[in-house]
Structure 1
Amino acid sequence: MFTTTLTFSIMKNIIKLFTFPLLTIIGFNSCASIPLKIGESENNSTYTVSYLFEHDGCKVYRFYDKGNYVYFTTKGDVTSITNDSTAQRTITINKTPYE
């Protein structure tokens, strides 16, 4: 009985030990994904716009502006993230389309 409890306790600790690093690696990998398409914007050739992915008909793009990545969608949402591991703030601007 004691051996079974000890083995179960060891297995729980091993699972905990490997779960956190695995989830951390997966999380960082998703942040540094390779864009599906890269190209200059149509109206301003100084910015390179990257098409990242599409979900439920909403396409997500990003470009680099003055040290920040700016993410935007075809639904009108815009988010600017400071390109630093000690990000000070995240600004999200939700635009409602005119009807």
Structure 2
Amino acid sequence: MTTDSSTRVPGLDFVAIDFETANPNHASVCQIGIARIRDGIVTHKATGFFLPSEGDREFGYWNKKVHGLSFAMGENALGWESTLPRLIKFAGDLPPGGPQRGC
């Protein structure tokens, strides 16, 4: 990644995480976006699909409409239990950050 040194913010180090859900239930995570930020600059980023847990696999009308996601997109994806260790490894020793919606 090319960066402009004037945009650096020394010490601004964290991992940004954004989850998308299949329906209004927070347990229905079906997609994640994650980025590693060092000195205010995005250094690595990734996105991936999850297979929502049993009982949370119904995609709500508004969730499909807003995010354009469907069950078929993550049907063969790993579940949360298999993905969590990979997310922890990606984050390393950085603190997490992300949008909050009254969680």
TM-score by length of 2: 0.26
TM-score by length of 1: 0.27
Higher relative contact order (CA 8 A, sep 6+): 2
Normalized per residue, the structure richer in helix is 1
Normalized per residue, the structure richer in strand is 1
Report the structure number with the largest CA radius of gyration: 1
